[in-house]
Structure 1
Amino acid sequence: MNDITPPGFDALFRHNEDPWGFRTRWYEARKRAMTLACLPQARYASGFEPGCANGELTAQLAGRCERLLASDVSPRAVELARTRLAALPHVEVVQALLPDQWPRGRFDLVVISELGYFVDGPALDAMAAHTLACLLPAATVVACHWRRPIQGCAMDGDAVHARLAQGLQLPQLCEVREADFVLNVWSSDPQSVAQREGFAW
Structure 2
Amino acid sequence: MPHDWNAERFDALYRDSADPWALEGSWYEQRKRALVLASLPQPRYRFAFEPGCAQGLLTLELAARCDRLLAGDCSLQALDAARQRLRGQPHVRFAQTVLPEQWPAGCFDLLVFSEVLYYLAPAALDVLIDRVLALPAGPLTLLACHWRHPIEGCTLGGTQVHERLRAALPWTHACAVHDADFVLDAWTRGSGASLAAQEGRL
Deviates most, 164-173 or 51-60: 164-173
Q: Distance in 2 between matches of 1:57 and 1:134?
A: 24
Deviates most, 71-80 or 3-12: 3-12
The Cα shift of 1:3 comes to 5.1
Partner of 2:8: 7
Partner of 2:172: 171
Partner of 1:150: 151
Partner of 1:198: 200
Q: Distance in 1 between matches of 2:18 and 2:114?
A: 18
- Matches of residues 1-201 of structure 1 in structure 2 within 5 Å? 4-134=5-135, 137-188=138-189, 189-200=191-202
Deviates most, 145-154 or 162-171: 162-171
The Cα shift of 1:84 comes to 1.1
Letter in 1 for 2:71: A
* Compared CA separation, residues 99 and 14, structure 1 to 2 (3 A): same
Contact 1:108 1:135 in 2 (8 A): no
Q: Distance in 2 between matches of 1:15 and 1:196?
A: 48
Q: Using structure 2 for the length normalisation, give the TM-score.
A: 0.94
- Listed as ranges, the gaps of 5+ residues in structure 2 are none
* Compared CA separation, residues 22 and 183, structure 1 to 2 (3 A): same
The Cα shift of 1:80 comes to 1.0
Q: Distance in 2 between matches of 1:84 and 1:136?
A: 33
The Cα shift of 1:15 comes to 1.6
C-alpha root-mean-square deviation of aligned residues, in Å?
1.4
The Cα shift of 1:146 comes to 0.3
For each residue in 1:59-91, what CA deviation from the matched residue of structure 2 results, as whole angstroms up to 9, or x when unmatched?
Answer: 110000000001001111111111111121100
Q: Distance in 1 between matches of 2:23 and 2:194?
A: 30
For each residue in 1:137-189, what CA deviation from the matched residue of structure 2 results, as whole angstroms up to 9, or x when unmatched?
Answer: 22110000000111111111110011122232222111000110000000112
The Cα shift of 1:134 comes to 2.6
Letter in 2 for 1:143: A
Contact 1:47 1:110 in 2 (8 A): yes
Letter in 2 for 1:18: D
Q: Distance in 1 between matches of 2:142 and 2:22?
A: 25
The Cα shift of 1:199 comes to 2.0
Q: Using structure 1 for the length normalisation, give the TM-score.
A: 0.94
- Listed as ranges, the gaps of 5+ residues in structure 1 are none
Q: Distance in 2 between matches of 1:16 and 1:77?
A: 11
Deviates most, 101-110 or 166-175: 166-175
The Cα shift of 1:135 comes to 5.4
